[in-house]
């Protein structure tokens, strides 16, 4: 693919508001996880909750969009000067030429969950549910594009935990096809009962902070996050880091467990290398999907070894941020760009002893080093895989 | 502008069990009977386990996908997919939210894995052994136009065949009250960037603004339109009539997706 400039980034995670807070946490080996204190969800697990959303409702003309997910989106949009870089792109290309593509898995479903609890004796909702502006998956994309004042193509992508990686691929295609000149891509997913109880039903939640790739790993730590990236076609003033390639694949194996040999994951990684015109040796660091479940980490290790060999440093940052599901892809894409800019390879927090059956080079400790190109992996239920590559201009 | 050829097409809805029926109705050789339910078959491509676990939403999307793929005579393993839906699976959302509202707060593992918006895509890939790229998009009422844009960009930029599968189903009470989709409707179309001799039609697709939106075909009753995927019907009608015309569909914020239809042969 033709590389695209990364001209803006903004992020909110459980580590804090803004890129500096999240990056400083990752760099210093801090994490944003806490024993589950989400509403009255009494599941013994650790979560990454973004503090303060509960007391920051959307007001005025935005009130109809008010829900935990859109509050988180708005919090994200106000970080890191993001609105200003979008404003500049709008001026340069015109509002109609700036797309908005957002990944989410549950959007504002918490509103619906709470409305179900308050149903009357006949089972009907007691008060009107603002379905289109909250629960519907397009709600967050519609909210973001209105807040940014852009009118280009707009889509939500919902492919489980690969959602906000897939938005990069779709944006690259829409720009290449001439449908837009720039794209705001991102992901917003917020805590809700469905994901907590759903992952618990599959026995995939860790009772402690998740330990990706650890021999004693016991599942994932759910979190919430909002992340945004502005992608622009080759601008006069090229950004220092570009989005270089993507690979997408399907496992065609099982709805909720990955292909045991990591076949689909390896296909996506190989596709990303082809798309970027790179070879395995060109990748300096892999930000793993690395959720901390037995099956994911094992399959991903096999896929990394098959595609990149055993020497490429890799790690999971989910011990720091938790697994933000539909916002994980963009959060980790942003971290990948930071790794390149800062010359830093993060370790894998909470992980003490790497699974001895793994052959890939999983980093336990963070270290400084030249990072020219990063691959970022995101895999989801339904066997949906996406790998992205970021780096300096070729 | 994105040029794609149409190799196969399908439609599954109330009183519309396949493309051939729709074709006959558009040609005036068969009346359209209102007031029927959509009869959703159990697709024969699903392996027994997936057949048992699949929801109506999965079966509806997979049935439509299968008809378009078979009509185009392609192997599913070679075809990338774009699934478009406004609402995902309302029955599963209801089942889970209802369970969560009770004191036991039980969520069934099968319901949870069916709750992902890309569940039909996941089942489709398992059924056809397609390891290709698959994207599931949502743009509320504009999901069909959005899905067509995504599919056309994928087909032309990556130069590969793409199957677009758009579907929505009614949600049960009480969700139905806040999103009154009346009936199940699924439409699929198999696109490729190259114009082959077997293509049904060539489409040149572009984004534009402020053009008048093409009205639905005359036989279409108001009730049939009460599903966001029914916005495909003007384009499906042009296909059925092999008509050289431009079909314009509403997209976000005053923009439109315009499809110039060019008959083949």
Are A194 and B107 an interchain contact pair (Cβ–Cβ within 8 Å)? yes
Q: Give pLDDT, residue B50.
A: 87
Q: Among A243, A191, A227, A245, which residue's Cα sits nearest to residue A331?
A: A227
User: pLDDT tens per residue, chain B (265 residues)?
Assistant: 999 999 999 999 999 999 999 999 999 999 998 888 999 999 999 999 889 989 999 999 999 999 999 999 999 999 999 999 999 999 999 999 999 999 999 999 999 999 999 999 999 999 999 999 999 999 999 999 999 999 999 999 999 999 999 999 999 999 999 999 999 999 999 999 987 778 999 999 999 998 999 999 888 878 889 999 999 999 999 999 999 999 999 999 999 999 999 998 6
Restricting to A residues 71-100, those with a Cβ less than 8 Å away from any Cβ of B are: 96
Q: Which residue of B has its CA nearest to A157?
A: B137
Q: What is the pLDDT of residue B223?
A: 84
CA-based nearest residue to A154, from A73, A95, A111, A79:
A95
Quote the strand ranges of chain B, DSSP E: 2-12, 80-84, 134-138, 162-168, 185-192, 201-209, 246-250, 255-263
Pairing mode, strands B134-138 and B80-84: parallel
pLDDT of the residue at B265: 65
Cβ–Cβ below 8 Å for A197 and B88: no
For A273, counting Cβ atoms within 10 Å of its Cβ (0-12 exposed, 13-18 middle, 19+ buried), the class is buried
Is A105 in Cβ contact with B116 (below 8 Å)?
yes
Q: Is B28 exposed, middle or buried (0-12, 13-18, 19+ CB in 10 A)?
A: exposed
- Yes or no, beta carbons of B139 and A380 under 8 Å apart: no
Going by pLDDT thresholds of 50, 70 and 90, the confidence category of residue A239 is confident
Token pair 């593992």 is at which residue? B109
Q: Is the pLDDT of residue A393 over 90?
A: no
Q: Do the chains contact at A380 and B93, CB–CB below 8 Å?
A: no
Q: With bands split at pLDDT 50, 70 and 90, how would you rate the model's confidence at A337?
A: very high
* pLDDT score, position B195: 78
DSSP code at position B216: P
Say what the pLDDT of residue A189 is. Answer: 98
Q: What is the pLDDT of residues A207-231, one digit of tens each?
A: 999 999 999 999 999 999 999 999 9
Of the partner residues B87, B109, B122, the one whose CB lies closest to the CB of residue A136: B87
Task: For residue A120, give Cα distances in angstroms to A100, A117, A126, B103, B119.
Answer: 38, 9, 6, 16, 31
Strand pairing partners for B255?
B209
In the numeric block, which tokens belong to residue A246? 């993507």
Residue among A125, A179, A382 whose CB faces B116 most closely: A382
Q: How far apart, in whole angstroms, are the C-alpha atoms of residue B85 and residue B57?
A: 10
Query: What is the reported pLDDT for B86?
Result: 97
Angstrom distance (rounded) from CA B96 to CA B143: 24
Q: How far is CA A32 from the centre of its chain?
A: 16
- Please report where in the chains the tokens 């392996």 appear, as a residue: B47
> Taking a contact as any Cβ pair under 8 Å apart, which residues of chain A between 277 and 336 contact chain B?
none
Q: Give the model's pLDDT for residue A263.
A: 97
Write the pLDDT tens digit of every residue in A3-27.
Answer: 999 999 999 999 999 999 999 999 9
Dump pLDDT digits (tens) for A29-55: 999 999 999 999 999 999 999 999 999
Q: What is the pLDDT of residue A278?
A: 98
Place of tokens 């396949």: B18
Average pLDDT of span A196-212: 98
Residue B53 neighbours by CB distance under 10 Å: 17
A142-173 pLDDT per residue, tens: 999 999 999 999 999 999 999 999 999 999 99
- pLDDT confidence of residue B221: 79
Structure confidence at residue B116 (pLDDT): 96
Element (H, E) at A389: strand A384-391
Is there a contact between A146 and A124 (Cβ–Cβ < 8 Å)? no
Q: Which of residues 109-168 of B touch A (CB under 8 A)?
A: 109, 112-119, 121-123, 125-126, 128-140, 143, 146, 149-150, 152-154, 156-158
pLDDT at A235 over 70: no
Active-site annotation of A, residues: 161, 289, 323
**Alpha-carbon distance B9 to nearest alpha carbon in chain A (angstroms):** 23
> CA B234: distance to chain centroid?
14
What's the angle, vertex CA A295, arms to CA A103 and CA B82, rounded to 5?
A: 35
pLDDT in tens, A286-330: 999 999 999 999 999 999 999 999 999 999 999 999 999 999 999
């Amino acid at each position: 693919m033709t590389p695209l400039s990364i001209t803006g980034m903004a992020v909110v995670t459980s580590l804090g508001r803004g890129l500096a807070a999240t990056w400083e946490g990752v760099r210093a080996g801090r994490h944003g996880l806490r024993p589950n204190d989400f509403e009255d969800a009494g599941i013994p697990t650790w979560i990454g909750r973004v503090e303060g959303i509960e007391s920051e409702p959307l007001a005025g003309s935005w009130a109809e969009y008010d829900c935990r997910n859109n509050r988180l989106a708005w919090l994200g949009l106000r970080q890191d000067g993001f609105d200003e870089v979008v404003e500049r792109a709008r001026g340069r290309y015109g509002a109609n030429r700036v797309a908005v593509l957002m990944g989410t898995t549950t959007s504002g479903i918490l509103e619906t969950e709470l409305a179900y609890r308050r149903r009357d004796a006949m089972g009907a909702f007691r008060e009107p549910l603002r379905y289109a502006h909250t629960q519907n998956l397009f709600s967050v994309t519609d909210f973001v594009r209105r807040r940014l004042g852009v009118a280009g193509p707009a889509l939500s992508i919902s492919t489980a935990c690969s959602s906000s990686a897939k938005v990069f691929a779709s944006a690259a295609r829409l720009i290449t096809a001439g449908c837009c000149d720039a794209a705001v891509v991102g992901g917003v997913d917020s805590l809700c009962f469905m994901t907590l109880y759903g992952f618990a039903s599959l026995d995939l939640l860790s009772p402690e902070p998740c330990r990706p790739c650890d021999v004693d790993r016991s599942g994932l730590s759910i979190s919430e996050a909002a992340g945004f990236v502005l992608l622009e076609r080759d601008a006069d003033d090229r950004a220092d880091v570009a989005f270089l390639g993507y690979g997408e694949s399907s496992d065609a194996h099982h709805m909720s467990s990955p292909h045991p040999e990591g076949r689909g994951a390896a296909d996506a990684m190989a596709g990303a290398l082809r798309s970027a015109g790179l070879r395995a040796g060109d990748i300096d660091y892999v930000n793993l999907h690395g959720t901390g479940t037995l099956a994911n980490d094992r399959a991903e290790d096999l896929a990394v070894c098959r595609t990149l060999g055993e020497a490429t440093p890799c790690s999971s940052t989910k011990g720091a941020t938790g697994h933000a599901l539909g916002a994980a892809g963009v959060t980790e894409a942003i971290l990948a760009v930071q790794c390149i800019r800062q010359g830093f390879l993060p370790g894998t927090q909470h992980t003490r002893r790497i699974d001895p059956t793994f052959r890939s080079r999983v980093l336990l400790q963070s270290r400084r080093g030249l990072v020219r190109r990063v691959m970022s992996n995101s895999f989801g239920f339904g066997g949906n895989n996406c790998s992205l590559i970021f780096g300096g201009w070729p | 502008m994105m040029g794609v050829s149409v190799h196969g097409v399908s439609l599954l809805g109330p009183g519309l069990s396949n493309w051939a029926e729709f074709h006959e109705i558009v040609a005036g050789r068969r009346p359209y009977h209102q007031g029927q339910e959509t009869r959703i078959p159990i697709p024969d491509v699903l392996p027994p386990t997936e057949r048992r676990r699949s929801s109506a939403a999965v079966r509806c999307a997979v049935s439509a996908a299968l008809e378009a793929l078979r009509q185009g005579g392609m192997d599913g393993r070679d075809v990338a997919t774009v699934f478009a839906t406004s609402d995902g699976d309302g029955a599963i959302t209801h089942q889970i939210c209802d369970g969560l509202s009770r004191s036991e707060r039980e969520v069934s593992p099968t319901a949870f894995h069916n709750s992902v918006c890309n569940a039909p895509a996941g089942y489709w890939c398992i059924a056809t052994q397609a390891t290709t790229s698959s994207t599931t998009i949502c743009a509320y009422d504009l999901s069909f136009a959005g899905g067509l844009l995504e599919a056309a960009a994928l087909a032309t930029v990556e130069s590969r065949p793409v199957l677009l599968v758009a579907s929505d189903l009614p949600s049960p009470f009480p969700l139905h009250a806040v999103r009154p989709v009346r009936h199940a409707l699924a439409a699929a179309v198999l696109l490729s960037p190259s114009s082959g001799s077997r293509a049904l039609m060539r489409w040149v697709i572009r984004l534009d603004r402020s053009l008048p939106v093409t009205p639905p075909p005359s036989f279409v009753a108001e009730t049939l339109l009460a599903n966001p995927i029914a916005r495909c019907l003007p384009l499906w009608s042009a296909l059925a009539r092999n008509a050289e015309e431009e079909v314009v569909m509403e997209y976000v914020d005053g923009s439109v997706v315009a499809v110039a239809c060019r008959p083949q042969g």
